[in-house]
Structure 1
Amino acid sequence: MTNILDDQQLTAQTWFKDLRNQICAEFEKIESEAGSDATFDYIPWDRQNPDGSPGGGGTQGLMKGKIFEKVGVNISTVDGVFSEEFQAQINGAENDPRFFATGISLVAHMTNPHVPNVHMNTRFLCTTKRWFGGGADLNPAIVYDDDTEQFHARLRSACAPHSPEYYPRFKKWADDYFYIPHRKVHRGVGGIFYDHIELDKESDFDRHFAFTQDVGRAFLDIFPALVRKRMAMEWTDEEKQQQLEWRGRYAEFNLVYDRGTTFGLKTGGNVDAILMSLPPEAKWV
């Protein structure tokens, strides 16, 4: 790969940064509505390849407020060479270990156990192949069926214009992926997860990119609405303990099974940015 981005890479990178800006502004607005002056701290970081050459970098956005106990919204653009061990696991890298990746990753841990936690990421990767991946999933400590229904309905509407197969296919993918085998429980109430939406021809970029943009817009539409619906609810000590125990399950998934965590750590990403997905406080019985 090269440090000079081509049109597709630059277009994707620009969108992920713009989406980050919109999301962070909306989350800060929610904090303001709750009487908090919390804002995001933006911490840039640079990545170096094993041979010492520049390997891109990114910006970690972190806020700790009244409503968002801890929320990270990160963007990154990195390139380099996969290790021999790791390249065999990556689409299109079997015979050429060079890669490029740009994307946004978000995890929000909420103060109020009635407000659902959430994860969202979208990304564009290039090896000898090019593809989009990502998704969003809701992770409430206390489940409300109407929140689950509204979240899924918004993702369904984002998928519908692109393919009637997308929502059922990507919902199942999320259900299968966000599962903790050693606990025999799902991490949350699901959402969508997709990967390897490949560019078989040049014209595929525009339509696959449009879908990825719609996923980001759907998240920006529905999640703040769910936060505002629940953030003024009172909670009990028992409900807070339930949240802390649930966070332990969430941490277990992210440390043991999450592919994004593995990808970031194995490609020399910023450790603090990668592990921002972990909750600020958790409990194991």
Structure 2
Amino acid sequence: MTAEMKTEKARAAAWFRTLRDEIVACFEALEQSHSEGPFSSETAGQFEVSETTRSSADGSDAGGGLMSVMRGGRVFEKVGVNISEVYGTLGERAQNAMAARKGLPGMKEDPRFWASGISLVAHMRNPHVPAVHMNTRMFWTPHAWWFGGGSDLNPCLEYKEDTAHFHATQKTQLDPHGSEFYPRLKDWADEYFYIPHRNRARGVGGIFMDDQNSGDWEADFALTQDIGRAFLPAFAPLVEKRRVQTFGEAEKDAQLIHRGLYAEYNLVYDRGTKFGLETGHDANAVLMSLPPLAKWV
């Protein structure tokens, strides 16, 4: 590993931490500012922060991260904002999965890796406020590096204007990198966040990319940063607008059923869930995406 790549890895990990701090501060501010509407008289939520660790087969240091979770707030029923920096040697199952990935040759011959990223999932108290997911990450092996990530909106009660705002904000952030990026990443999200056994998408889409290695690390890092920067302006205004709306049992029931759909996707199809569990990362951190309550019919 070159000294240059050490610097690049450190820059990526530091950026994910910076983005995490900005999001945590924004979400706690949304809790504090919720002064009218459902749940506004309750105690504002705050994040509980704990360190996470990754176990290696030989007991050596394999990295870890921070798990930040808020439960039972005025606005957020459960939200996790995790960052990680893990490294070591991939096991056989993870090697096989990575070896088949575009742009990741040589994993069987030299299975060393390093990965860092941020992962966020928010489940909201008011069913009018959409659930949301966001992650960005960098993955390195001795043979290649790549970036990935995106964000997608998951309303149980869709408002067309909210969907339009979420997508328009992401497009605005990505267009400076080239007009081709937003439509390509939107289509990729539509394909990735699809639940085959239900024959439907899990939400209203967003943007997603994986295995991003153009050969220009700076350009790919800048793109990844702007995917992260798009998140709060795309999502926070929707929270502020919808958190004051009243709702009844029918809306809450729709939310719980939609959460069941979300749980199915994350447990059956999500790459990040599979990678985290197969590489020995803290199971609570990996599965923080699951909703606190869900329903199946």
User: Where on the TM-score scale, by shorter chain, does this alignment land: which range?
Assistant: over 0.9
Structure 1 residue 199, shift from structure 2 partner: 5.2
Matches within 5 A, 1:36-115: 36-64=43-71, 65-90=73-98, 91-92=104-105, 93-115=107-129
| Equivalent residues of 2:52, 2:285 under 8 A apart | no
Give the 3-state SS of the residue equivalent to 1:240 in structure 2.
helix
Which TM-score applies when normalising by structure 1?
0.95
Q: Which moved more, 1:68-77 or 1:218-227?
A: 218-227
Moved over 4 A (4+): none
**Aligned equivalents of 1:94 and 1:153: distance in 2?**
42
**Structure 1 gaps, min length 5:** none
| Residues 75 and 125 in structure 2, CA contact (< 8 A), matched pair in contact too | yes
Separation in structure 1 between the aligned mates of residue 195 and residue 217 of structure 2, nearest angstrom: 34
2:10 paired residue number: 10
- Deviations 1:48-102 (CA, angstroms, capped at 9, x unpaired): 2111110000010000211000000000000011112321221232422111000
SS of the residue corresponding to residue 198 of structure 2 reads coil
Q: Secondary structure of 1:89's match?
A: helix
Q: Counterpart amino acid of 1:184? A: N
| Partner-residue secondary structure (3-state), 2:86 | strand
Q: Does 1:34 align with 2:17?
A: no
Q: Distance in 2 between matches of 1:196 and 1:165?
A: 17
153, 156, 160: which one aligns with 2:171:
156
Of 217-226 and 231-240, deviating more is 217-226
Of residues 204, 208, 212, the one that matches 2:220 is 208
**After alignment, is 37-46 or 88-97 more displaced?**
88-97
Task: Please tell me the root mean square deviation across aligned C-alpha atoms, in Å.
Answer: 1.4
How many pairs are equivalent? 280
Q: Distance in 1 between matches of 2:243 and 2:259?
A: 18
- Please give the alpha-carbon distance, in whole angstroms, between the structure 2 residues aligned to 1:157 and 1:274: 31
Provide the C-alpha distance between the structure 1 equivalents of 2:116 and 2:257, rounded to a whole number of angstroms: 33
Contact 1:20 1:74 in 2 (8 A): yes
| Contact residue 129 and residue 199 of structure 1 kept, 8 A | no
Instruction: Provide the residue aligned with 1:21 in structure 2.
Output: 21
SS of 2:233's equivalent in the other structure is helix
- Structure 2 equivalent of residue 123 of structure 1: 137
* Contact 1:138/1:188, CA 8 A, preserved across alignment: yes
CA distance in structure 1 between the partners assigned to 2:13 and 2:252 by the alignment = 38
Residues 130 and 199 of structure 1 are in contact (CA less than 8 Å); yes or no, is this contact kept in structure 2?
no
Query: Percent of aligned positions with the same letter in both sequences?
Result: 53
